[in-house]
Structure 1
Amino acid sequence: MIMQTWLFLLLPVAALSGWLMARRHYKRRYRQQENAFSPAYFKGLNYLLNEQPDKAIDVFIGLLEVNSETVETHLALANLFRRRGETERAIRIHQNLIARPSLHGEQRTQAMIELGLDYMHAGVLDRAEHLFLELMQLPVSPPEAARQLLRIYQQEKKWRQAIDMASRLDKNQQDNTQPLIAQFYCELAEQSVKQDKHECLNLVRLALFHDTQCVRASLIEARVQLSLGQPQKALKTLKNIERQNSQFLPEALPLLYQAFQQTANLQGYRVWLQQILHKNPNLTSVRLMLTRLIDEIEGRSAARQYLYDALHRHPSVEGLNTLINLGEHNQESLVPLIQQVTNAMVLRGDRYSCKNCGFSGKTLHWLCPSCNRWATMRPTEIHLSALEKLLEKTA
C-alpha cells in the first residue's frame, strides 16, 4: 500500500521531467535550424538580388565551408567570378569542390564541367580538353562535355576529333550535327586536294552523305573533277547546286563556264543560263554571265543591246557598270560620273552576308567570322535598293 502511494506521488514528477526534457530538445533543434541559415547568407543573397556583386562576394567568401548542402552556392559564386573575368578565383573554387571526397557523383560532374569552362575562358585549352575527356569516360557521359570538346577541336582545327564529337552528340538525338559534320569533311577535303585528289573526292562524298544540301562539297568536287579532266561529271555536280540552294549559283558560274568550255559547248551554257533566268529573274550574276557569252558568240554590239534591254526590266548597279564597260557611251557628259559611282559601289559593296547574324563582307567564309556558325554566309546581289547604303560608304 505504501509502495503504491509513492508511485502515485512520483507520476507528476516524471511528467514534469519529461516536459522539461522535451522543451530543451525542441529549443536546441530550433537553434540548429536557425544556424543552418546564417543571417550572413541572406545578407549576401540580398546583395545579389540588388545587383551589388562586390558586396555579395565579400559575404559569401566568409561562408566558404564546403558541404553537400552548400555546393550550389559555391558553384554560383565561382560562375560569378568567371563572368566578372576573375577566372583564377573561379578555378580555385571549382578545384576545391572537386577535391572534396564527400562530393557525390552528379555534383562532382557539374564542378568538373564548370572547371573546364574556366580553363576555356582562360585560354588553357589543353587542360579543358583533359577534363572533358575524363568526363567522356564516365558510364553516362554528360552531353555538355562533348559540346565543349567540339568547340575546342574547332578552335584547334582538329577536324577528325571534331567529327567524332559531333557524331556522339548526334546519337543523343538532342543535336542535329549532320550539316556540321559535312563542313568538317569539307575542311579535310580542302587540306588534301593538292596531295591526293582521289582522297579529296572521298571526303567530299562523306560530306554529302551527312548533308545532301552541302553546296561547299559540290563546289570542291567540281573543281577536282575539272582538274582531272572530267568536265561532264563537273557539269552534273554543278547543276545540282540549283537544287541544293539556288542562292549559291553565282559561285558555280565560273566553274560552269570552264566545264562547258572544255566540252566545246558554250551555246549549251547559254541555253542553260536562259533557263535559270526564266526561273530566277533577279539573279544579276547569271544575266552578266549570259552577256559575256553573247559577247563571245555574237559580238560586242549584240551583248550591249541584250544588256541594255535587260536593265530596263531588271535594273542593277553591276549591270549598269558592265554596260558602260561594254562601250555604251551615248551620253558622254553623264558617263564619267555614272562610271565613277558604279565602279565605287561595285568595289565597296559586300558580296556575302550571314543569314544568322547579318555580318557582310567581300569574301565567302564558310564559317562566319562574327557568329561562328557554319554555312550561314550567302552570296548577295547589289541592287538599286541598296544605293543609299552603298553611297554612304563612298562618302
Structure 2
Amino acid sequence: MLGWLFFLLPVAALSGWIMARRHYKRRYRPQESSFSPDYFKGLNYLLNEQPDKAIDVFIGLLEVNSETVETHLALANLFRRRGESDRAIRIHQNLIARPSLSAQQRRQALVELGLDYMSAGVLDRAEVLFLELLQQPGTPPEAPKQLLRIYQQEKKWQQAIDMAKQIPANNKTNTRALIAQFYCELAESLLEKDQHQALNLLRSAHHYDADCVRASLLEGRILIKMRQYRKAVRVLQHVEKQNHYFLPEALPLLYTCFDNTNNLDDFKDWLESLLTRHHHLTSARLMLTRLVEQKQGTEAAQRFLYRQLHQHPSVEGLHQLIMLGEDNHQALIPLIKEVTTTLIHKGDRYTCKNCGFSGRTMHWLCPGCSQWATIRPIEIHLSALEKLLEPSR
C-alpha cells in the first residue's frame, strides 16, 4: 500500500503542473486584436495625405462594427478643425444614415453635422438641423446655443431673443444681458421709423439688464428727438450708476438737454459734483471748461483748465488748453497743437476689457472676442504718451 502511495505522488504532482499550465495559458494568452487590418490601411492613407481614400475605408468599417462611432466622430472633427468641412460633412452624413446608431449617438452626430455646416458657412442647413434637435426628447444643450449664434450672424434679433430665453444663464453666458443687447438692436432699427415702439423695446432691454448703458444712451437720444429734455436728463444721468466709464458718451447729450432748457448752471453744478466722485474723468473736466468759456470768457476758461491740468494732466486737456490760447505764441502754439492733434487722432478711443481690442469707433459687439458690451470709452492721460509715441508697426 505504501509503495502505491509513493508511485501516485509523482503522478499527482505532474497532473497538478499540467492543470496549472493550462490555466496560465488561458488567462495570459494574448487577446486577439479587435482592430481590423483595414483600420491600419485607413491610417496609412491619412499619413500619406490621401484623406478621401481614408474616409472610404472608415465608412466601410462602420458597416461592420458600429462600435467605431466615436472614432468616426473624432476623425470628422479633425477634418473640420483643419478647415476641410466637406469631408467632415461626408463622414457625419454617413453616420446619421446608419440604422444601428443609438438615439444618443444620432443626436451627437446631428450636432456635429450642424457644426460642419456652420464652419462651411451653410447657415440655413445648420439652422434646420438644430431646429430638428429642439423638437426631439433629450435636446442637447448645444442646439439652442448654436441657433443663437446663427441668429446673431444673420441679425435676426427677435429670433435671437426667443432662443436666448431658452438658454439658462450661467457664469459663462449672461443671457439676460444678451437679450438686452438684442432689444437695443431692434430699437436702433426703429429710431427713424417708430420712436414710441423703439422706447418700448428699450424698456424691455432695461427689464432684462438694468445696467444696460446702451439702452440708456439710445433712450436719451430718442427723448431728445421728442424734445422731452427733462426725461432725457434723468435717463442719461443714470449712466453714472450703470457704468461711469460710459459718461463720456452721455455728456454731449446732457449738454444738449440742459442747453435747450436754459439750465446750464445746473449742468455745471452736476459736473462739479461728478468730478468729486470721479477725479480722473477728463471728459467732464473739458465740458466744465466749455461752460466756463461760454459764461466767463476764454481767459477764465484757460485759467480754470490750467489749474485742472496741474492736478489731472491729460492729452485732451492739453489740446483744449492750446486751442483756447492759439492766438498766443505764434511760433510755438501751432507746433504743439499739431503734436497734440496727432496724439489724439492716433490714440484709440475705445477698448475691450475682455480681449484688449481697441479702435476709434464704438462697437457694442466686440470684433475681437464677439462679446457684447465689453468695449468702453477710454481717455488719453499723459501717462500713456510713451505708448502712443511708439512708431507704428
TM class by shorter-chain length? 0.7 to 0.9
Percent identity, aligned pairs only, is: 60
Letter in 1 for 2:201: L
The 1:53–1:172 alpha-carbon spacing in structure 2 relative to 1, beyond 3 Å, is farther
* 1:145 aligns to 2:146 (yes or no): no
Query: What's 1:236 paired with?
Result: 234
The residue correspondences of 1:162-311 to structure 2 (distance < 5 A) are 162-170=160-168, 175-311=173-309
The CA deviation string for residues 165-212 of structure 1, in whole angstroms up to 9 with x for no partner, is 111002799843010000000000001111111100000000000000
The CA deviation string for residues 212-251 of structure 1, in whole angstroms up to 9 with x for no partner, is 0000000011111111111111111011100000000000
What SS does structure 2 have at the residue aligned with 1:378?
strand
Query: What's 1:381 paired with?
Result: 379
Query: What's 1:62 paired with?
Result: 57
Query: What's 2:14 paired with?
Result: none
What SS does structure 1 have at the residue aligned with 2:366?
coil
The residue correspondences of 1:363-378 to structure 2 (distance < 5 A) are 363-378=361-376
What SS does structure 2 have at the residue aligned with 1:62?
helix
Letter in 2 for 1:202: N
Query: What's 2:86 paired with?
Result: 88
1:60 Cα offset (Å): 7.0
1:44–1:57 Cα contact (<8 Å) kept: no
The CA deviation string for residues 339-358 of structure 1, in whole angstroms up to 9 with x for no partner, is 11101011111100011111
2:45–2:54 Cα contact (<8 Å) kept: no
Query: What's 2:34 paired with?
Result: 36
Matched residues in 2 for 1:53 and 1:376: separation? 46
Q: Please, what TM-score do these two structures have when normalized by structure 1?
A: 0.86
Matched residues in 2 for 1:334 and 1:173: separation? 55
Matched residues in 1 for 2:373 and 2:172: separation? 20
Matched residues in 1 for 2:95 and 2:170: separation? 29
Correspondent of 1:120 among 103, 118, 121 = 118
2:39–2:57 Cα contact (<8 Å) kept: no
Letter in 1 for 2:360: K
The 1:172–1:68 alpha-carbon spacing in structure 2 relative to 1, beyond 3 Å, is farther
1:272 Cα offset (Å): 0.4
Computed over aligned residues only, the root mean square deviation of the Cα atoms, in angstroms, reads 2.8
Matched residues in 2 for 1:295 and 1:394: separation? 37
What are structure 1's unaligned runs of at least 5 residues? 1-18
What are structure 2's unaligned runs of at least 5 residues? 1-18
Matched residues in 1 for 2:330 and 2:192: separation? 50
The 1:175–1:233 alpha-carbon spacing in structure 2 relative to 1, beyond 3 Å, is same
Query: What's 2:77 paired with?
Result: 79
The 1:47–1:318 alpha-carbon spacing in structure 2 relative to 1, beyond 3 Å, is farther
What SS does structure 1 have at the residue aligned with 2:376?
strand
Matched residues in 2 for 1:63 and 1:394: separation? 51
1:370 Cα offset (Å): 1.4
The 1:53–1:379 alpha-carbon spacing in structure 2 relative to 1, beyond 3 Å, is farther
Matched residues in 1 for 2:117 and 2:45: separation? 28
2:352–2:374 Cα contact (<8 Å) kept: yes
Mean Cα displacement is larger for which, 238-247 or 331-340? Answer: 331-340
Matched residues in 2 for 1:393 and 1:189: separation? 41
The 1:366–1:172 alpha-carbon spacing in structure 2 relative to 1, beyond 3 Å, is closer
Letter in 2 for 1:123: G
* 1:323 aligns to 2:321 (yes or no): yes
2:144–2:166 Cα contact (<8 Å) kept: yes
1:317–1:384 Cα contact (<8 Å) kept: yes
What SS does structure 1 have at the residue aligned with 2:168?
helix
The 1:235–1:391 alpha-carbon spacing in structure 2 relative to 1, beyond 3 Å, is same
Query: What's 1:339 paired with?
Result: 337
Matched residues in 2 for 1:358 and 1:304: separation? 35
The 1:390–1:107 alpha-carbon spacing in structure 2 relative to 1, beyond 3 Å, is same
The 1:175–1:372 alpha-carbon spacing in structure 2 relative to 1, beyond 3 Å, is closer
Matched residues in 2 for 1:388 and 1:55: separation? 53
The 1:390–1:40 alpha-carbon spacing in structure 2 relative to 1, beyond 3 Å, is same
Matched residues in 2 for 1:281 and 1:61: separation? 68
Q: Please, what TM-score do these two structures have when normalized by structure 2?
A: 0.87
What SS does structure 1 have at the residue aligned with 2:342?
helix
Letter in 2 for 1:325: M
The 1:85–1:239 alpha-carbon spacing in structure 2 relative to 1, beyond 3 Å, is same
Matched residues in 1 for 2:80 and 2:337: separation? 54
Query: What's 1:353 paired with?
Result: 351
